[in-house]
Amino acid sequence: MTQQQALPATVDHLIVGAGFAGLGMAIRLAEAGEDDFLVIEKDGGVGGTWRANTYPGAACDVPSQLYSFSFAPNPDWSKSFSPQPEIEAYLRKVAEKSGTLDRFSFDTELTHARWDEADQRWHVTTTRGEVTSKTLISGSGGLSAPKLPDIEGIDTFQGEVFHSARWRHDVDLTGKRVAVIGTGASSIQIVPEIAPDVAHLDVYQRTAPYVMPRNDRRYTRVERLLFKAVPAVRRAYRTGIYLGRELYVPGFVWNPKLMTPAKKIALAHMTKAIDDPELRAKVTPSYEIGCKRILISNTYYPALAADNVDLVTDPIVKVTGDAVVTADGTERPIDVLVVATGFQTTEQPIAEHIHGRGGRALAQVWAERGMASYKGTTTHGFPNLFQLVGANTGLGHSSMVFIIESQIAYVLDALATMKTQQYAAVEPRQQAQDEWNATLQSRMRRTVWSAGGCSSWYLDAHGKNTTLWPRSTISFRRLLARFDAEHYDLQPARRNEGANA
């Protein structure tokens, strides 16, 4: 579908987002013979977060061989950890080869979605028109809406200010005084890239992260040939990495003491890179490893130790027209302010625009009890709404593509059940959803994310971890292996809609 073509008035399935989740869903729908679908994407092409995040040094912290669809392997990764341009190019290539791009509408944003009980359909308003669909499948993800800091005076800053996910490539940082707020996954990639070019760099840290060595290397020509010519080698390589990553699970979810070897590696990595006792004290975490996201970098600590870089741990109290002011009264002049403060993960913005039975917004329901769904995919009160990368589906150790494919399989089985049994709508029962989340939160209490002594973006305003999955990915796939209709309210089609509704 080109941008000039009008949107279809009605489709069977409307998918929101064209990142890994939305693209994977579209391809699998087409393979299942479900051809009447539309994918809407607010940006100008496929890629999702890997299209939006183009900051210097952007790369994946999950090994390349795991970071691709199982049904579309990529033997051409250049390195063991893929840089952003390669991931975006991979997704474009997969989309083009899939033959589904004629059902994508780019620069099209969902502004309002309403479930109509009378006709058992979703009525969706977009920036390019209205669409009615039987199902609404959200692939918007948790890393799509940048989170901006609430700092006094930031709107009065006279220099350039931008979020890491909206990098201004037209702003030349050479010789400038730059401040970076945040020390998370994006920041530790940005800082080493820009430090050599700027006159001075201030890095503002609220909590020190654990940083592990980045065991990255370029694949040899022989390896890449083997990956392409001998699929069994590529599959074995992928399986080995996957199982190795699953070894982290016991330390995350059962006994944090099992993470002691990893903690020692991280601290040794820090000690080797930083000689200055004062700086070393600043970057030493005060909580258990794994409580916050574990980062990987070989260049972050050396960058902090550079003569033109200062790590600031005093809280920011305000931003003036040309400086950042901290609680100790120090005013640090800057020309450019980079905000690397993450995303709205526990308050997914799309939830504000989705209205279920009775007209209640999904955001309103979640505000009362926290983000909670059934199997991270469906939600009581919102018939025929399927979310990919929903509540408690995130990972602290492995590839989200595995989770996404597990959810896609669950959705496909739900759609097949609806067709064969002639159901017009499916909705998880409140009891099933409550029991799922009660069990999940009970398991969460013993994880390092709850008992590790930190405050992280995994936690919502209620103090609940509504972001991560507290078990192995193997168990997640097993639990979503089939659509369990017995836990759903199943609505037959209205008579006037016919047998195939």
Highest mean pLDDT of the ranges 251-260, 363-372, 409-418: 409-418
Q: Which amino acid is at 381?
A: G
In this prediction, residue 500 has a pLDDT band, given cuts at 50, 70 and 90, of very low
Mean pLDDT of all residues in the chain? Answer: 94
Residue 461 has pLDDT above 90, yes or no: no
Residue with tokens 């945040």: 182
CB 443 within 8 A of CB 402: no
For 104, phi and psi rounded to 5 degrees? -110, 135
pLDDT at 16: 98
Structure confidence at residue 495 as a pLDDT band (50, 70, 90): low
**Which DSSP symbol is given to 148?**
P
Both tokens of 15, joined, read 């998918």
3 has pLDDT over 60: no
pLDDT digits 0-9 by tens, 195-243: 999 999 999 999 999 999 999 999 999 999 999 999 999 999 999 999 9
Measured over all CA atoms, what is the biggest interatomic distance in the chain, rounded to whole angstroms? 76
Whether 214 contacts 81, CB under 8 Å? yes
Task: Tell me the backbone φ, ψ of residue 66, rounded to 5 degrees.
Answer: -90, -20
Q: Is the pLDDT of residue 496 over 80?
A: no
The mean pLDDT value for 254-274 works out to: 96
Query: Is residue 498's pLDDT more than 60?
Result: no
What digits encode the pLDDT tens for the residues 432-454?
999 999 999 999 999 999 888 88
Contacts of residue 164, defined as CB under 8 A and 6 or more positions apart, other chains included, come to 53, 55, 146, 182, 186, 187, 190, 338, 339, 340
* pLDDT at 369 (0 to 100): 82
405-409 own/partner pairs: CB under 8 Å, 24+ apart: 405/24, 405/69, 405/70, 406/473, 406/476, 406/477, 406/480, 407/21, 407/376, 407/377, 407/480, 408/21, 408/24, 408/25, 408/28, 409/28, 409/480, 409/481
Sign of CA dihedral 327, 330, 333, 338: negative
Q: Which among 36, 38, 100, 124 has a CA at the least distance from the CA of 419?
A: 36
Say how many CA atoms lie within 13 Å of 420 toward its Cβ.
8
pLDDT of residue 68: 95
Q: What is the mean pLDDT of residues 51-63?
A: 95
- pTM across the whole model: 0.94
C-alpha to C-alpha distance for 446 and 423, rounded to whole angstroms: 40
pLDDT score at 469: 96
- For 344, the token pair is 């709205």
The residues, ordered by sequence, that sit 6+ positions from 221 with a Cβ below 8 Å of its Cβ are none
Residue 26 scores a pLDDT above 60: yes
Report whether pLDDT(1) > 80: no
Handedness of CA 311, 314, 317, 323 (dihedral sign): negative
What is the per-residue burial (b if ≥16 Cβ within 10 Å, else e) of 334-357? bbbbbbbbbbbbbbbebbebbbbe
Question: What pLDDT, in 10s, does the model give residues 82-109?
Answer: 999 999 999 999 999 999 999 999 999 9
Backbone angles phi, psi at 496, to 5 degrees: -75, 0
Cα–Cα distances in angstroms (integers) from residue 139 to residues 62, 143, 351, 392, in the given order? 20, 11, 12, 15
Cα separations in angstroms, 162 against 136, 166, 170, 181, 315: 32, 6, 12, 11, 20
pLDDT at 460 (0 to 100): 82
Domains (range + CATH), the chain: 10-145+344-497 (3.50.50.60), 154-215+241-339 (3.50.50.60)
Residue scoring higher pLDDT (409 or 369) = 409
CB count within 10 Å of CB 378 equals 25
- Decide if pLDDT at 295 tops 60: yes
Q: Give the residue among 384, 297, 360 at the shortest CA–CA distance from 120.
A: 384
Please compute Rg for the chain using Cα positions.
Answer: 23
Which H helix or E strand runs over 24? helix 20-31
Three-state DSSP at 397 gives: coil
Count of Cβ atoms closer than 10 Å to residue 169 Cβ = 8
Is pLDDT of 501 > 50?
no
Residue 46 has pLDDT above 90, yes or no: yes
Please, what is the angle between helix 221-229 and helix 231-246, to 10°? 100
Q: Does 494 have pLDDT greater than 50? A: yes
Of 195, 163, 158, the closest CA to residue 182 belongs to 163
Q: 52 near 43, Cβ under 8 Å? A: yes
